[in-house]
Amino acid sequence: MFLSVFEMFKVGIGPSSSHTMGPMVAAARFLDMMRASPFQFAGVRASLHGSLAFTGVGHATDRATILGLAGFVPETYDNDRAEALLADLETSHQLHPEGLPPLKFDPKRDLVFDYDTQLTGHANGMILMATDAQGDVTLRQVFYSIGGGFVMTEEELAAGKDTDEGAPVPFPFKSAKEMLEMAQASGKTIAGMKRANEESRGGADNLKRGTARLWQVMNDCIDRGLANDGILPGGLQVKRRAKAIHDALQAERGLNQQAPHTINDWMSVYAMAVNEENAAGGQVVTAPTNGAAGVLPATLRYYLDHVPGASEKHIEDFLLTAAAIGGLVKYNASISGAEAGCQAEVGSAAAMSAAALCAVMGGTPEQVENAAEIALEHHLGMTCDPVKGLVQVPCIERNGLGAIKAVSAASLALRGDGTHLVPLDACIETMRQTGADMSEKYKETSLGGLAVNVPNC
C-alpha cells in the first residue's frame, strides 16, 4: 500500500475537504470525462446526496460544485475569478470550461439538494450529468467524496480501497505491525521508510520542494489567522478569537508569574488560527482533512517555537511520519467525518501529529506507534455535529484540544519504552467499528448533538 505524502496533505481551500474540495475535484474530473466523450454537450446538472445535501450549504458544497464545473480546482483556486464567474452566472446561466462548448446551467434548477435519496457507496455522494441540446442526459457519473479531498467514482469505490497501480515501493506496509517489522528489519525510522517510498516514485528533489511548500502554506495559514479578526461568515456570528488570544500571550511573555499551563493556550491558538482561516474559506492544507487542518500545523509550530533544540531540518521527517500514520488510518478505517464522525478527522490528525512529534524528538518506531495509539484512543467515539452545518462550532476549538492531546500523547510515549497494551492497529479497527455503529445523525449531517441543542442557530 502506498499513499503519498502529497495525497495525504493537499493544498486547498476551506471550509471542508470532503464537502468543498471533494465536490470541486469531482466536477473537474467530470469535465475531463466530457472532453473525452464523443457526444456533443449543451448543459450540465448536479445532485447532492447524504451529508453533501444535509450540510452542503454550510460547507459551500453548492458553490464548490458550480466552480468545479466551470473548471476551477482547489490548488489553483482564485477567489476574485470565482466571485466574478458566480456573479456572471446569475444572469447568463452558462458555464465556459476550457475545451468544451458553453454549457447551460441554472443553479436554481440544475443543482439539487436531494435529502431523500441516499447513495449506497458513501455518505458523501453526488451525481453529475451532462445533457444534449434537447436536455436529455447523455453522460452520468456518480462520485463519492470520501474524506480529505479524496474522490472516487462509483466504479472505483466498488473495485476496492487499494487502487494504487504504480511501481512497487521499498516498504509497502499496510498495518502498523508491518510498519514496525519493516523498521526493525531495515534499521530505518518510519520517516526513513516513508522517504524511500516517496523517492522511489517522485525523486528526492520533488519530495524536498513539495514538503517545504506544504509547511510554508501551513505556516502562512497560521500567521494569517493570528493577524485577522472579525466575524466568520455563515450566520452564526462566531467571532474570530485567535488574534486576541495571541496578542495577550505575546504581552504576557517574560512575566515571572506565568502559569505553566499557558503553553496549552499557545498550542490552541495556533490550531484555532488555522481553523478560523478555514471557516472563512481561506487557503489551508488538508491534514488529513480541512475540518482537522489545525492540529498538525499547531503541533509542528509548537515544536519549532517552544521546544528547546528544535530544528527546521526535521520538518520533512515530521510530515513523512504523520503521512505514514495517516495512510494507515485511511486505508484501514476512515478519515471522513461523514463516514465515522470526528474521531476520523480530529482523532486521526491527533494521532498523526503525536507520532510526528514523537519522531522528531528522538522517539523509536515503537514509541512513535505508541504515541499515535494514545492520541487516537482518546478520541474514540467523538461525533461530528457541526452547528448549522458550518465548520466552526465545535470544530475550531476541537482542533486546539486535538493539538494539546497530540503533544501529551507524544510526551507520554517518550516517557516509556514503546511497549503498551493496545496496538495501533487495534485502535484503528476500533475506530472503524465505532464509526460503523455510530448513528447517522452524529456523522456530519447536523441532525444531532450540538447541532440541534444550541438555541437560536
Q: Could you tell me the CATH number of the domain that includes residue 101?
A: 3.30.1330.90
165 pLDDT exceeds 90? no
What are the grid coordinates assigned to 187, written together? 534499521
How far apart CA 201 and CA 167 sit, in angstroms, is 7
Task: Mark whether 187 and 90 lie in a shared domain.
Answer: no
pTM of the model: 0.92
Last residue within a domain, chosen from 102, 125, 159? 159
Q: Helix 262-279 vs helix 395-415: angle between axes, to the nearest 10 degrees?
A: 140
Q: Give the residue from 101, 132, 159 where a domain finishes.
A: 159
Q: Is 132 among the domain residues?
A: yes
Q: How many domains does the chain have?
A: 2
pLDDT digit string (tens) for 186-218?
A: 999 999 999 999 999 999 999 999 999 999 999
Look up the CATH number of the domain holding residue 341: 1.10.4100
User: Does 37 reside within a domain?
Assistant: yes
For 34-87, what is each residue's pLDDT tens digit? 999 999 999 999 999 999 999 999 999 999 999 999 999 999 999 899 999 999
pLDDT tens, position by position, 283-334: 999 999 999 999 999 999 999 999 999 999 999 999 999 999 999 999 999 9
- First and final CA of the chain: distance in angstroms? 44
Query: Is the same domain home to 141 and 278?
Result: no
Q: Is 314 contained in some domain?
A: yes
On whether both 182 and 282 belong to a single domain, the answer is: yes
Please tell me whether residues 206 and 301 are part of one structural domain. Answer: yes
Within-domain flag for 85: yes
Are 132 and 38 in contact, with CB atoms under 8 Å apart?
no
Flag whether 5 is in a domain.
no
CB 258 within 8 A of CB 251: no
Q: Which domain holds residue 225?
A: 176-453
Are residues 29 and 107 both part of a single domain?
yes
256 and 121, same structural domain? no
Q: Which helix (H) or strand (E) holds 95?
A: strand 94-95
pLDDT per residue over 251-295, tens digit each?
Answer: 998 887 889 999 999 999 999 999 999 999 999 999 999 999 999
Whether residues 302 and 415 share a domain: the answer is yes
Is the pLDDT confidence value at 368 over 60? Answer: yes
Final residue of a domain: which of 159, 192, 208? 159
Query: pLDDT-based confidence at 456, cuts 50/70/90?
Result: low
**Co-location of 388 and 265 in the same domain:** yes
In this structure, what are the phi and psi dihedrals at residue 124, rounded to the nearest 5 degrees?
-100, 90
pLDDT at 160 over 90: no
Whether residue 457 is predicted with pLDDT greater than 70 in this model: the reply is no
Can you read off the three cell numbers belonging to residue 254? 517574560
Whole-angstrom Cα distance, residue 68 to residue 448?
A: 30
Residues in the chain: 457
- Are residues 19 and 51 in contact, defined by beta-carbon separation less than 8 angstroms? yes
The verdict on 198 and 319 lying in the same domain is yes
Within-domain flag for 403: yes
- Residue 371 domain flag: yes
- Count CA atoms closer than 13 A to 148's CA, side-chain side: 26
Q: Is residue 2 domain-resident? A: no
**What residues pair up with 242 in beta bridges, in sequence order?**
none
Q: Do 183 and 292 fall into the same domain? A: yes
**Is residue 228 scored above 60 in pLDDT?**
yes
Q: Dmax over Cα atoms in the chain, in whole Å? A: 76
155 and 198 fall within a common domain: no
With bands split at pLDDT 50, 70 and 90, how would you rate the model's confidence at 98?
very high
**CA-to-CA distance for 329 and 334, rounded, in angstroms?**
6
Q: Does one domain contain both 111 and 244?
A: no
CA dihedral over 451, 452, 453, 457, signed as positive or negative: positive
If 0-12 CB within 10 Å is exposed, 13-18 middle and 19+ buried, where does residue 308 land?
Answer: exposed
**What is the model's pLDDT at position 72?**
96
Q: Is there a contact between 368 and 355 (Cβ–Cβ < 8 Å)? A: yes
